[in-house]
Amino acid sequence: MYCMLRLSLALLLALACMGLAQAQAEGDASSFSLRGFGTLGVARSSSDHVEFVRDLSQPKGIRGGQWSGRIDSVLGVQANWQAAPELELVGQVVGRLRYDRSRDPELMWAFAKWEPDARISLRAGRIGADFMMLADSRLVGYSYLPVRPSSDFFGPLFFSHFDGADASLTVALGDALVRGKLFAGETREKTSGTPGIWDTSGSSLHGLVVDYLVGPWQFRANTARARFSHDINTAPLPALLREAGLALGVPEALAAADSLASAGKASRFFSLGVVYDEGPLQLQGMVNRIRHESGVFENSTAGYLLAGYRMGVATPYAGISWWRTRDRTYTTGLPNVPPLADLNLAYDQFMQASRVDQVTYTLGVRWDLWTNLALKLQWDAIRGSSASRFSFARSDAAWNGRTNVLSTTMDFVF
């Protein structure tokens, strides 16, 4: 399966290169296009005790009032080749902060799209999962109003693409449109885990998206399921818990060891969203619910509301978002005496590492300086409990749940 996908990706790239050569030879600019997007951004987060990150894939964030370009800066280029009236090939490469702290270019999309008519679209290759309502990519700052998609809502969705296929069908019902999309594939990404790096490549992903569009309104329902391929790095704790459980005859310790596994465990994602976009006014709202089979992640709910109103070239906006996980009861069943107390402590730390309970208030303004360049200034006030740590990178004991993030970006397309 993997080899086949690799082969099809290589084939796509070769085709795209041939397309470029052909387009140049014929002087035909319309069948081939090369475009790009980027963000130059600096941000600072006031707290000394956590690192604010854009989403959980980022291994390092910003802290201590230091201005940094680390989390938001990105550059991408995309080639489209209309090989035939019904067939288009698309490739996109992006440089951004990755799980290993590098900014090595990453192949985001490489797919063939077949549209036998204007109602049906089939795509295969490396494609995006459109968890955001308005786009598959969450990295094109120019395309959305705030500096970044809500970290409370999109933070836990650390994967950007998958290798597989999607099929969408749009039907007209009077003045309204209904669009359904099915997608399935395997993720190829690694993410920053706590601790170390979590390899999620080979995890299966599938889901369904239904959109209803009428006039200025868009409504969406989305469900997705991922089954993880690898365990998060909890060694050697599970083996020690098993050993202690067997030696002392404590079945809860064996169950506790099993609860730390993520390989073969599924997570389910549900979301509902609405957009109202009429003239100068833009309103958006989404809610989600994430359910995990693995014990290392707490189930969560999140949501956001965002409103903007264009006044000439400036669009001020305000938003609120929240992310909460549900505490679970858990125990190793082992007596709290040395050396078992250390196992209990380590287990507690893992079980609490995925806890979040926070609200973010956002104010900002976007200036559209030219039709391909925008400047943004945004202030986020994060107010949470001191146990709210999963949403950040590296927290220490003095974290009190409050930080203010000031961000400014220049977003462009070319």
Partner 1 sequence: MKGMRKMLLYACLMAWSAFASADLVLVANPKAGIDRLTQSDVVNIYLGRYRHLASGLTAEPIDIEGEADLKARFYRRLVGKSLAEINAYWARLVFSGKTQPPLAVVNTEEALQRVASRIGALAYLERGKVDRRVAIVFDLGE
Binding site for partner 1 (CB under 8 A): 30, 35, 37, 76, 78, 80, 82, 88, 90, 92, 109, 111, 113, 117-119, 121, 123, 127-128, 130, 134-137, 140, 142-144, 170, 172, 175, 177, 213, 215, 278-280, 310, 313, 368, 370-372, 374, 413
Alpha-carbon distances, residue 259 vs 73, 295, 327, 351, 395 (angstroms): 37, 5, 15, 9, 24
* Closer Cβ to partner 1, 46 or 143, answer by number: 143
Alpha-carbon distances, residue 159 vs 269, 281, 341 (angstroms): 13, 31, 36
From 180, 183, 182, 176, select the one nearest 218 (Cα to Cα): 176
- 358 vs 388: CA distance, rounded Å: 7
Q: How far is the CB of 124 from partner 1 (least distance, A)?
A: 12
From 335, 352, 340, select the one nearest 388 (Cα to Cα): 352
Pairing of strands 392-393, 281-292: unpaired
Q: How far is the CB of 93 from partner 1 (least distance, A)?
A: 12
In the block, tokens 């489209």 appear at 80
Q: How far is the CB of 275 from partner 1 (least distance, A)?
A: 11
Check residue 42 and report its DSSP letter: E
* Closer Cβ to partner 1, 111 or 390, answer by number: 111
- 45 vs 60: CA distance, rounded Å: 13
Q: How far is the CB of 207 from partner 1 (least distance, A)?
A: 16
Asked if 256 and 246 count as a contact pair (C-beta separation under 8 A), the reply is no
Q: How far is the CB of 111 from partner 1 (least distance, A)?
A: 7
- 414 vs 410: CA distance, rounded Å: 13
Q: How far is the CB of 37 from partner 1 (least distance, A)?
A: 6
* Closer Cβ to partner 1, 230 or 310, answer by number: 310
* Closer Cβ to partner 1, 96 or 292, answer by number: 96
Q: How far is the CB of 368 from partner 1 (least distance, A)?
A: 4
Identify residue 163 by its one-letter amino acid code: D
Q: How far is the CB of 140 from partner 1 (least distance, A)?
A: 5
* Closer Cβ to partner 1, 370 or 397, answer by number: 370
Extract the tokens encoding 182: 């099915």
* Closer Cβ to partner 1, 282 or 300, answer by number: 282
Element (H, E) at 81: strand 74-84
Q: How far is the CB of 279 from partner 1 (least distance, A)?
A: 3
* Closer Cβ to partner 1, 82 or 321, answer by number: 82
* Closer Cβ to partner 1, 21 or 171, answer by number: 171
Q: What is the largest CA-CA distance in the chain?
A: 79
Q: How far is the CB of 149 from partner 1 (least distance, A)?
A: 12
Q: How far is the CB of 174 from partner 1 (least distance, A)?
A: 9
DSSP, residue by residue, 176-244: EEEEEEEEEEE---EEE-SSSEEE-TT-EEEEEEEEEEETTEEEEEEEEEEE-SS--S-TTHHHHHHHH
Q: Compute and round to an integer the Cα radius of gyration of the chain.
A: 23
The pair phi, psi for residue 4, each rounded to 5°, is: -60, -45
* Closer Cβ to partner 1, 144 or 228, answer by number: 144
* Closer Cβ to partner 1, 180 or 215, answer by number: 215
DSSP SS3 for 277: strand
Asked if 160 and 190 count as a contact pair (C-beta separation under 8 A), the reply is no
* Closer Cβ to partner 1, 134 or 365, answer by number: 134
